[in-house]
Structure 1
Amino acid sequence: MSFGGLHAAGPLWRSASFAIAIGVLAPVLTLAWLAFGSGVAHWGPLFAHVLPQAALNTAVLLAGVGALVLVIGTGCAWLVTACDFPGRRVLHWALLLPLAMPTYIVAFAYLDLLHPIGPVQGAIRWALGFDSPRQFRLPDLRSMPGAMFVLGFVLYPYVYMTARAMFMTQPAHLMEAARTLGESRRGAFFRVALPLARPALAVGLSLALLETLNDIGASEFLGVNTLTVAVYTTWITRSDLAGAAQIACAMLFVVVALVWLERNGRRHQRFGSTQRMRPMQPRRLHGWAAWLATATAALPVMIGFAAPALYLVWESSKRLRQGGGISQGLLSSLGNTLALAAGVTVVAVAAGLVVAWAARSQGSRPNRARWQARVAALGYAVPGTVLAIGLLTPALAIDAALANAFGFTGLPLMGAGVVLVVACAIRFLAMPVGGIEAGLARIPPAIEQASRLLGETTGGTLRRVHLPLLQPAIATGALLVFVDAMKELPATLLLRPANFDTLATWLYAEAARGTYEEGAIAALAIVAAGLLPVVLLARNQLGTPSALPGPDKT
């Protein structure tokens, strides 16, 4: 049957989409059962000794990182949109490069770079004529301000992307009208451009804060006991799963607030058409103002990407020059990482295709199909530690059932890494769902109608018509999932099988031991892989440099 020009998906597709949505919700439901089903005995000690400090640290960290990413992201977005200066055409995409750097890798790099006897402080002491760290040393990076610094300069691109997209679509006549009415350029920015960009800023800010909440490596390296770190230590160090679940429930309240902020921002987001409205032309800067703008826009790239990347290259080359080579353990971790990322990619893309296809072929219940698609895409908002705790209990129950039914020894699902693959697939499912939905939206319904009129089934139409047309969207989603699975640390730390290391967990262990040279090669491999989706994102989101508006020479 056809609805709105599209044929309804069969019951198998709808059932599979419903099962995927339930699978995404299952960890959250399990978490609630663990937290509240174990009684209230755990809540007293948690409220007395763990939650207050961890919640306060998390709130302060979110506030500090939020302020920093707003200032850096919005300022750089306005600078490259409203002004023309040397290097602008490079910086407009280079400002995205910190997205290739996982937060724990940047923390790993700066802990060595800014160490009291490290190269940066050593150079400063040499320039000032000091000989010892006792005479001069910078504030300790292992602190709350240090964590804000690291996370802020890595996560600002989320705000930069959304703010710049909004600034580029704002019609020029609004700013011109403000200037005609006597506003200065600064006043026009704060009273016209910035209020119009608030929904986009809310979206970017919420995404950056969700990443901050999910972080475990950088926070732990820098000595900040957040809720995420508290979940990990409560579970692993104290072997208290119920207590960890209760802390994770507190995290979910923060997640809900951030998701509401993101959804609210998207609802109020409006983009003008540059085909009908004249976009704002950048004003050419001259002299010291031009070079100051270049330095200002380049500084976040230097801090968030260039400095840690150069450090990793130097440490890796030093390790290789000294004859250390690449250890067998690192090679094994690389193989594990590629296998894990490949498995997660296959599962996530297949599930994303099912959900997106069922949502497109909505049938007589479009609201249910859209609800399932939204639920399936919510995994990105759930921190990896929360997913790990929520999946552990059902996974152990299934393992026990399999052992009883088939005589397996050990934990067949946990031991084979199946649970870890499922956790990562749930976390990154939003990427293929969103990409495939966007790809399907660009395919005219008439193509599907023609296929069905020629006698093709729904599945045959998908296989022979839509899949070939969806190859770019599927490839993009697969690439994003693959790279993010390579970088995933929280879920991998908690759900990996015994004696199973990925590059991320290898780096985590080396940083914990303080052997930075050993971890630099693993970190460099992760960053190199992370550059691929950033380049793709720069091409798709920002366009080519030649597409930038030219400067206003008047």
Structure 2
Amino acid sequence: MGNCYHFPLNFFANDYYLHVGACQRNNYVYFAGDDVLISDTRQQGIMSQLTLQFCRVPAVMAVVCLLMMAPLISIVLTATGDTGNLMPHLFQTVLARYVGNTLLLMVGVGSLAIIFGVSTAWVVSRYHFPFRYLFEWLLVLPAAMPAYIIAYSYTDFLEYAGPFQTGLRQIFDWQTPRDYWFPEIRSLTGASVMMAAVLYPYIYLLTRTAFRQTSAQMFEVAALAGRPVFWSIALPLARPAIIAGLALVLMEVVSDFGTVEYFALETLTLGIFNVWLGMNNMPAAAQLALCAFILVGALLMIEIFARSRRSFQNIGIGKLGVPVINPSLKRKWLCFVTCLIPVAVGFFGPVSILLEFCFVNWPA
């Protein structure tokens, strides 16, 4: 019968590739060559176990889905309660401002995150420059910094009484705020910069992966034709990845509370907390939360649609990835600065400020 192999019976408890005809002896299943011999009784027992396991999978998935949907179901049920006619009042007064500020913040953060993420992904994929391989990983570090942490850090450092403006007044002998102009950090623009500085890695990682999954031959053909490889090849092929990363960034913007609360920006998230804790009206807060959920759901649909088109990137043959070139010295330093700015703003800057505050206040 050829080679013989034996395995414990429980070995087949999770085996989905059982052959017909097996033989059991002393609680073992024996293989003879390519044939498997199992007794009819034992085979029925094993198949019953497999059927039971297959039946358990939908039940487990149903329980997991219910647990994941529980918060949303709770919000929907809470939103059906009596708001005490508060929602019509919110519609007439502040709801438009909540939605408007949220949309403006999404536009600002999304635009800056695209600039930071796409530019850095292209630079580290296309050019040789000093510390290129180090920047590939340093550019991910801002994702470890919560937006409200860098908001606290930069506000204390850049406000009128902070060390930066105090130093400027001492150097230039300025006496009052009317003697000079300085951008207001606690503003919609400031919040956009703070949040984009820590959220751009979503776009950077997905875009860099898209560049590396594109056929190198396509870039070579575009270069031979005299076409700009970034605008004609790289950017169009990376568009699904960019949209997917942007959707993730905007979801974070909609759900952010710490930054907008510290900067006193009236967004949907801040409005939810004001109605919930300030007015003690849970049903109205739940209805505002559903408005935010609609935005998040729309962004999620955009992200799913973008991911469904990711195969659009993998149409080339042969070697994958953007051909790396060695630019001039001036362009090398330009690439270095392009990668340094988002890392410095999103990670090294706030970490340095926090360390400085820590050492200054250490004796206390």
TM-score, normalised via structure 1 length? 0.55
Offset at residue 45 of structure 1 (A): 1.1
- Which of 274, 279, 283 lines up with 1:233 in the alignment? 274
Establish whether residue 281 from structure 1 lines up as the match of residue 328 from structure 2: no
Offset at residue 171 of structure 1 (A): 1.5
The answer to whether the 8 Å contact 2:217/2:316 transfers is no
SS for the counterpart of 2:80 is: helix
The answer to whether the 8 Å contact 1:169/1:273 transfers is no
Equivalent residue number for residue 494 of structure 1 = none
Offset at residue 217 of structure 1 (A): 0.4
Q: Deviations over 1:402-442 (max 9, x none)?
A: xxxxxxxxxxxxxxxxxxxxxxxxxxxxxxxxxxxxxxxxx
Establish whether residue 96 from structure 1 lines up as the match of residue 140 from structure 2: yes
- Which of 161, 183, 197 lines up with 1:153 in the alignment? 197
* Aligned residue identity for 1:297: C
* Residues 110 and 167 of structure 1: CA distance in aligned 2, closer, same or farther (over 3 Å): same
- Which of 243, 254, 279 lines up with 1:213 in the alignment? 254
* Residues 239 and 13 of structure 1: CA distance in aligned 2, closer, same or farther (over 3 Å): same
Within 2, Cα distance between the matches of 1:261 and 1:11?
34
* Aligned residue identity for 2:292: M
The answer to whether the 8 Å contact 2:119/2:338 transfers is no
Equivalent residue number for residue 244 of structure 1 = 285
The answer to whether the 8 Å contact 1:235/1:244 transfers is yes
Q: Deviations over 1:336-365 (max 9, x none)?
A: xxxxxxxxxxxxxxxxxxxxxxxxxxxxxx
Equivalent residue number for residue 139 of structure 1 = 183
Within 1, Cα distance between the matches of 2:107 and 2:270?
18
Establish whether residue 305 from structure 1 lines up as the match of residue 325 from structure 2: no
Within 2, Cα distance between the matches of 1:245 and 1:278?
48
Structure 1's unaligned 5+ residue stretches are 325-554
More helix per residue: 1
* Residues 318 and 264 of structure 1: CA distance in aligned 2, closer, same or farther (over 3 Å): same
- Which of 108, 114, 122 lines up with 2:158 in the alignment? 114
Offset at residue 137 of structure 1 (A): 4.1
SS for the counterpart of 1:142 is: coil
Establish whether residue 20 from structure 1 lines up as the match of residue 61 from structure 2: no
* Residues 145 and 278 of structure 1: CA distance in aligned 2, closer, same or farther (over 3 Å): closer
Offset at residue 319 of structure 1 (A): 2.0
Equivalent residue number for residue 385 of structure 1 = none
SS for the counterpart of 1:212 is: helix
The answer to whether the 8 Å contact 1:117/1:133 transfers is no
Offset at residue 287 of structure 1 (A): 2.1
Establish whether residue 258 from structure 1 lines up as the match of residue 299 from structure 2: yes
Within 1, Cα distance between the matches of 2:16 and 2:223?
47
Within 1, Cα distance between the matches of 2:176 and 2:254?
38
TM-score, normalised via structure 2 length? 0.82
* Residues 12 and 30 of structure 1: CA distance in aligned 2, closer, same or farther (over 3 Å): same
Equivalent residue number for residue 381 of structure 1 = none
Q: Percent of pairs identical after alignment?
A: 31
Offset at residue 250 of structure 1 (A): 0.4
- Which of 230, 235, 242 lines up with 1:189 in the alignment? 230
Structure 2's unaligned 5+ residue stretches are 1-12, 19-49
Within 1, Cα distance between the matches of 2:142 and 2:104?
23
* Aligned residue identity for 2:343: V
- The count of aligned residue pairs is 319
SS for the counterpart of 1:89 is: helix
Equivalent residue number for residue 442 of structure 1 = none
CA RMSD of aligned residues (A): 2.3
Within 1, Cα distance between the matches of 2:124 and 2:298?
31
